[in-house]
Chain A
Amino acid sequence: MLQTNLTHITSEEQFNEILQNNENVMICCGRMGPMCVPVYEIMEELENEYTHVKFADMEFDIPAAHVIRNLPECRSFTGLPFTVYYKNGKVVKATSSIQNMEQVTSILDSEFGKNE
């Protein structure tokens, strides 16, 4: 289990349930490594502000993580974490490796809009 305060996705069923029940979803799939931790922390910070987005993490090495690892959008990725943004269950953006607050909020704002 990742040591974060985010919702942890541990199975494919839970992953599908989150996508079905939320219009805007951001999932960070990684390990507790130096490139991943900053992204989790940014998500924790944004959770209260972007209430219209569901934030979750997923361990990269669990079998269920194939739902992220095998996405066509992640085919060229060679850096953890794989961060994927979904709107109505469809991938709208995916990033590889560490991202800063500006990069994450810029994607959230352009794909999901700012919280009113």
Chain B
Amino acid sequence: MRKYDFDVIVLGGGPAGLTAGIYLSRARVDTAILNEGTVGGQTVLTHEIANYPGVENINGYQLARIMKNQAIRFGCTVRSNIKVTGLALTGSLKKIEINNKETYTAKAVIIASGGRSRTLNVPGEEKFKGHGISYCATCDGDFFTDQNIIVVGGGNSALEEAVALTKYAKSVTVVHQFDHFQAFPHAVKEAKENPKINFIMESEIIEFLGSDKLESVKIIDKKTGNVSTMKIDGVFILIGYVPNTEIFKEIIELNEKNEIIVDENLKTNIDGVYAAGDSIQKKYRQITTAVADGTIAALNTIEYLNKQKQEPVEV
């Protein structure tokens, strides 16, 4: 097993993790960012970012690349597409095993593991991913030109994408589990006024059916319990995000939504372990809030490391 020693390990390479990496490395703290997916996290899912201060228009991938290069220029090590296979965070020396073959140690850890698209977790979903089921309207909308599609969800993303998909599709049916939408009123109004959009409320898809390609879905009416089958060409699932915190469950204190509980300094229940970004308990999840979290977590981690240096070493 190969071994690498750092002052700080940042788990996650989205805006929060990259910002922490930038601040720590610039402060000459030896830092490694270990990222399970693509560097940039959820940011790369955004085609156009128009509200990131200081940058008029940029896509998520470009912004993430700039942040990554900034971190690397300050001396930060960035590893992406790794798999965390072991964690020991409670001692004064934190250990993280990756890919079952490398161990990283550090005096402090910042968890910035972010979130991922929520899936329905019903039969057929995995089989028809890319064969009728999509999680990105902007990417795959044109495959459904003049076809009938469903958008699952009732938040801003779902309704905004439903409207966007009417540019391609013959019809868009929004299937939502509640009798009301969580989206902002203007998004609801725009969707309701679009003649191509229909709504099936208080209902859920319970199965995807087809041979090589998605052909129909089974929908349950939550009020009556009736199950019906609907022929469909495509389904876009836009039902929000879940925090990537499964691997911390037994170690870090989480709330009922599996978000990491932190104090005002973004410290977790474990000394020397901080958390930032979409994986923590908070109301607003934006790139700007993730960047702010990354900054706060990094500065508090530096303070923690400085205090550790001053404390007498146990012999």
Contacts and interface: CB of A to CB of B under 8 A. Distances in A.
Interface of A: 3, 31-38, 41-42, 45, 75-80, 95-98, 100-102
B269 to A, nearest CB: 30
B155 interface: no
Contacts of B133: 79
Given A32-B61, A34-B45, A34-B136, A78 B143 contact: yes
Contacts of B213: 76, 78
B81 A96 contact: no
13 contacts: A31-B139, A33-B136, A34-B44, A34-B60, A34-B61, A41-B80, A41-B81, A42-B38, A45-B81, A78-B130, A78-B132, A78-B213, A79-B143
Contact of A78 (B65, B80, B138, B144): B144
Contact of A102 (B80, B83, B144): B83
Contacts of A3: 61-62, 65
Contact of A38 (B38, B62, B138, B144): B38
A76 B233 CA distance: 11
Nearest to A31: B139
Given A78-B213, A80-B140, 18 more contacts: A33-B139, A34-B44, A34-B47, A37-B40, A37-B61, A38-B37, A38-B44, A41-B38, A42-B38, A45-B80, A75-B212, A77-B130, A77-B131, A78-B130, A78-B144, A79-B129, A96-B131, A101-B81
Given A32-B59, A33-B139, A80-B139, A101 B45 contact: no
The binding surface of chain A is classed by DSSP as loop
A46 B134 CA distance: 26
A98 B129 CA distance: 9
A101 B39 CA distance: 13
Query: Which bucket holds chain B's interface residue count?
Result: 20 to 34
Contacts of A102: 83
B131 A78 contact: yes
Interface string B43-83: 01111000000000001111001000000000000001101
Contact of B138 (A33, A42, A95): A33
Interface string B119-155: 0000000000111111110111001100000000000
B130 A95 contact: yes
B234 interface: yes
A34 B65 CA distance: 13
A98 to B, nearest CB: 8
Nearest to A96: B130
Given A34-B139, A41-B39, A76-B213, A97 B60 contact: no
A78 B139 contact: no
A41 B45 CA distance: 14
Contact of A33 (B47, B80, B212): B47
B107 to A, nearest CB: 28
A21 B147 CA distance: 41
Contacts of B140: 35, 78-80, 97
A113 B138 CA distance: 35
A36 B60 CA distance: 13
Contacts of A34: 44-47, 60-61, 136, 138-139
Contacts of B60: 34
Nearest 5 interchain pairs by C-beta: A96-B130, A97-B130, A79-B130, A38-B38, A34-B45
Nearest to A77: B130
Nearest to B212: A76
Contacts of B45: 34
Given A34-B44, A34-B46, A37-B38, A79 B131 contact: yes
Given A32-B59, A34-B45, A78-B143, A97 B134 contact: yes
Contacts of B131: 76-79, 96
A35 B139 CA distance: 7
A37 to B, nearest CB: 5
A34 B136 CA distance: 8
